[in-house]
Structure 1
Amino acid sequence: MQTPTLLTVLVILVLAGYWIGRQRSIQLAQPAGGIRFLRSLPNYYGLMAVVWAGVPAVLVLLLWGAFDSVLVRGMVMAGLPEQFQQLTAERQGLIFNQIGNIARGADPSADPALLAAAEHYKNLLQISVVARSIVLLSIVFAGIGIAYFYIKPEVRAREHFEAVLRTSLLTCSLIAIFTTLGIVMSVLWESIKFFRIIPPTEFLFGLQWSPQIALRADQQGASGAFGAIPLFAGTLLIAAIALIVAVPIGLMSAIYLAEYAKPKVRNTVKPLLEVLAGIPTVVYGFFAALTAAPFIRDVAHWIGNTFGWEVFANASAQSALAAGAVMGIMIIPFISSLADDVITAVPRSLRDGSLAIGATRSETIRKVIFPAALPGIVGSIILAASRAIGETMIVVMAAGLSAKLTANPLDSVTTVTVQIATLLVGDQEFDSPKTMAAFALGLTLFVVTLGLNFIALKVVNKYREQYD
């Protein structure tokens, strides 16, 4: 029984178990005078049957999926002749992939050993599918049977079900926590290996970024410089430009929609603003590369040629200003929508009190509503800043890949995320400083973002104590 069919059958059986458990509780309650003599509602007895039948089956299915391929591969490789057993792990992986291709008919190999292994592989897969179906169906039927005999009027089914639900929620929370820890530890481990080769001071304070490593002593153009200051400067420059564009527009639009706009206007304009959040970033990248960047370059050249300003006359076709401006347009909905929700959530009593003592609407917004909503507004700005710092596609297409230490927004720059993507593209050796530099950049970006969030949390808590 294939996986989709098996899952469909399991769902049907679990739903049948719910109905059986519910009907069983109602049946047992009839001699005592009805369901009012049950310790829980009939639905909870049905849910208890679902727990008995579904949870063990799901756990076994997950474990089966996790270890099935490993066991099958081990048995297939163990059945190969001795010369295959002496190969390296990478070579054995290639041999196993070839066996899988032979079993699927995609590789007409003539090697008798591989043909036999492919036949063995297909047999093991068939045995695994049949055994999985038998085991899971047996577990579901056993669970329904146990629930059927365990259901009694005096059983507190609601408490049992809620205990399982609490355990499931706790498990999901722990999975999220351990997943985060796993990500951090994996990045940290690779970063430590990088810093054993490249000193942290050179990485954090170096002014030259050229991660190409020379393969020969006479090779040119491979300096192997890992100074990340140009990347951090480019990241902050583009993010600052994006926030300069997005914060005023986003906040003003939020204030207008929340305090001044009529309901009809608000119901029309707000969805149109939020449409910007659904546009793929690659579309923004095309717009920045094909429209915004050439326009900014032409305007800068006109200004430079007209007034003799060399900075404008030398404007690059790919610039931080083009990438930052388009990125600012992209993150306007993040600030506008969240700030609008926060401003709307300010208690009406604060508005009425301010207007009652003679304040104008604009004074009420500036001196009452805006300070009261400041924690949420700061949160929206931090979210937008994180979105800007983590953007890659727009920077690649509109700002370029040049790691330059410059504050000129008309020059081409690059960011940390762009370099991470560049370093990990293609076939790479994960024991080289060039590849491990991506993990060091990721760790540094994580620490910086964590620091920004910590500062924002302090600001939020300060003003929340004042206005709550």
Structure 2
Amino acid sequence: MPLLWLFLIVLAIAAGAYVLARVRVLAMAGENRRALHSLPVYYGSNAAMKSGVPALLVLAVWLVAQPLVIDTIASGHIPDSAIAETTSRGLVMAEVRRTADGIDMAIASGELSETAARDPQADIEDLSARLSDAGAILTSEITPPVFRAAQELRALSAVGTQAMTIIVVLIALFGALWALRETKPDFRARNVVEQGVRGLLIAAASIAILTTLGIVLSLVFNTVEFFRLYPASEFFFGTNWAPSFSGRGGASDLGIVPLLWGTFYISLVALIVAVPIGLFAAIYLSEYASPKVRAVAKPLLEVLAGIPTIVYGLFALLTVGPLLMRVFGDEGLGWMQAGTAVMTAGLVMGIMLIPFVSSLSDDIINAVPQALRDGSYGLGATQSETIRQVVLPAALPGIVGAILLAASRAIGETMIVVLGAGAAARLSLNPFDAMTTVTAKIVSQLTGDSDFASPEALVAFALGMTLFVITLGLNVFALYIVRKYREQYE
């Protein structure tokens, strides 16, 4: 049964339970609502909640756990002798999943019958040809162990889906019957529903935490798998980035140092552009601009934060890059060989970061108590002296926090780098050379001609984990500084 139909069936059972519970309690009370402990809507909501919520929770957990369990069982059907020294069980299981998907595609297109798909003695060469004709993407030849594991994977998936459908529907029906059985005029339905809603609110508040946990775990597991196939010392200390999509990583150099250098170099150029402009704009808006000017200028400045990054990337590629080439290229000073360079991406990224710095700094400067300014004016200081010697020192921790948040945003940027900085992984101090960043290589590694479980693809998770740790540290440090600053004036 399709998942959508199962979901609609559960919703239909919950809706039916709602109507029946409401009708039942009103009938038992003789249509006298004063004889009820709670409003009729609470009795219906109690029945709908007890029939729908547990069933949907079981459905969600089942959908997450079933692939993990099935992969583990199917992996056990692959003998160690079928795994070559140059590969791993994870790579073989990736091929098993592709084969299973290809069989489903072949059956759907009519290239293969269900009987032939279940035949353990099937001709492997004929099967491969049929899967290719059906449009299946296979990165290597199908072997008998892989085919048998794919058959087991499909069989277990079918059984698991049937069991899930039966169990989820039974839970929904049982919940509905249980709620109808306890539906009586003196039942405290309102209290139960409010407690249930409170639990749902807590669950909703936990989604962010669980999502973060899931992201971290996916990064950790795939990073560990990568380091089983590639030495960690060469990854963290290697100065050459040259992935090879042939040989499953045997000829690849996957050193992260040039990528980190490009990331920090481009981010540094961006901050050199964004911090002075953003800080000066914040000082003007908070200390010099009239209310009318501020009401117009600040929203216009913050429009920059709403422009998609792909637009900034196109601006870097089509406008800023050619403009820099006219000045620093062969027609000018001769320092620049192409429009894609660190300077191109850094300038455009700095423009993108201006509203981050200016808006946060403006709020922080406005949070400085007016009494500090009045005391400075009372001592005979001018407005510029007050800003330099009183306001900015008081707001400095918050401004530093804003700069760090902008830096973490710059480190995680992708599209501007892809279109404006080029794709060369190199160690160079020349800002007019093409370089690349960690985020750009994550994109390229996951879209290359490589097995998803190969070192060339798994390295994207190691890159992501490294970038996650760096940006998380910057964000935590920035939030710590900002919160410490705000507590001084509350």
Q: CA deviation at 1:408?
A: 1.7
Match of 1:441 in 2: 463
Tell me which moved more, 416-425 or 10-19. Answer: 10-19
Choose which of 252, 269, 272 in structure 1 pairs with 2:280.
Answer: 252
Displacement after TM superposition at 1:127 (Å): 11
Shift in Å, 1:242: 0.9
Contact 2:325 2:331 in 1 (8 A): no
Partner of 2:311: 283
Assess, with a 3 A threshold, how the Cα gap between structure 1 residues 265 and 67 changes in structure 2: closer, same or farther.
same
What is the aligned counterpart of 1:185 among 220, 245, 248?
220
Q: Which amino acid aligns with 2:116?
A: A
- Of 428-437 and 52-61, the range deviating more from structure 2: 428-437
- Say whether residues 1:419 and 2:419 are aligned partners: no
1:351 aligns with 2:370: yes
Task: Show the counterpart of 1:231.
Answer: 259
* Pairwise CA distance, 1:2: 5.7
Q: Select which of 428, 431, 436 maps to 1:406.
A: 428
Please tell me whether residue 329 in structure 1 is matched to residue 361 in structure 2: no
TM-score (norm 1): 0.72
Q: Does 1:165 align with 2:200?
A: yes
| Corresponding residue for residue 270 of structure 2 | 242
Q: Which residue does the alignment assign to 1:319?
A: 341
The aligned counterpart of 2:144 is: none
| Per-residue deviation, residues 316-349 of structure 1 (Å, max 9, x unmatched) | 43210001111112222333344445555x27xx
- The one-character-per-residue Cα deviations of 1:367-404 (angstroms, maximum 9, x if unpaired) are 66555655554443333212211222222222212222
**Distance 1:20-1:428 versus aligned 2 partners, 3 A rule:** same
Aligned to 1:84: none
TM-superposed deviation, 1:425: 2.7
Contact 2:26 2:32 in 1 (8 A): no
Question: AA paired with 2:182?
Answer: Y
Give, in angstroms, the shift of residue 211 of structure 1.
3.7
- Is the CA contact 2:343–2:431 (under 8 Å) kept in the aligned structure 1? yes
Deviations, residues 38-84 of structure 1 (Å, cap 9, x unaligned): 4x77665554333212212212433564578899999xxxxxxxxxx
Instruction: Report Cα offsets for 1:439-466 as digits up to 9, x if no partner.
Output: 4433333333343334435533553454
Report the counterpart of residue 59 of structure 1 in structure 2: 57
Structure 1 residue aligned with 2:478? 456
- The corresponding residue for 2:408 is 386
Contact 2:50 2:179 in 1 (8 A): yes
SS in 1 for 2:468: helix
The residue number in structure 1 matching 2:105 is: 101
Alignment of 1:297 with 2:295, yes or no, is no
Asked if the contact 2:222/2:458 (under 8 Å) is kept, the reply is no
**Residue 135 of structure 1, CA deviation:** 6.1
User: Could you tell me which residue of structure 2 aligns to residue 113 of structure 1?
Assistant: 116
How many residue pairs match? The answer is 435
Greater alpha carbon shift after TM alignment, 401-410 vs 45-54: 45-54
Q: 1:20 to 1:434 in 2, by over 3 A?
A: closer
1:414-452 deviations in whole A, cap 9, x for unaligned? 222223333333232467654454444333333333433
1:214 offset after TM fit, Å?
Answer: 8.4
Q: Residues 41 and 329 of structure 1: is their aligned pair in 2 closer, same or farther, counting only changes over 3 Å? A: farther
Unaligned ranges ≥5, structure 1: 75-87, 217-221, 306-311
Measured against aligned partners, the alpha-carbon deviations of 1:143-181 in whole angstroms (never above 9, x if no partner) come to 344224424546343663256336635763662353144
Of 175, 186, 203 in structure 1, the residue corresponding to residue 210 of structure 2 is 175
Counterpart of 1:210 in structure 2: which amino acid? Answer: A
Whether the 8 Å CA contact 1:206–1:227 is kept in 2: the answer is yes
Q: What RMSD over aligned residues (CA atoms) do the two structures have, in Å?
A: 4.8
> In 2, distance between residues paired with 1:98 and 1:228?
35
Where does the alignment leave 5 or more consecutive residues of structure 2 unmatched? 73-91, 121-150
- Cα displacement (A) at 1:260: 4.7
Give the whole-Å Cα distance in 1 for the aligned partners of 2:9 and 2:289: 54
| TM-score where L is the length of structure 2 | 0.69
Counterpart amino acid of residue 460 in structure 1: V
The 1:91/1:404 distance shift into structure 2, 3 A limit, reads: closer
1-side partners of 2:384 and 2:16: how far apart? 62
Conserved? CA contact 1:351–1:368, under 8 Å: no
Paired-residue identity, %? 41
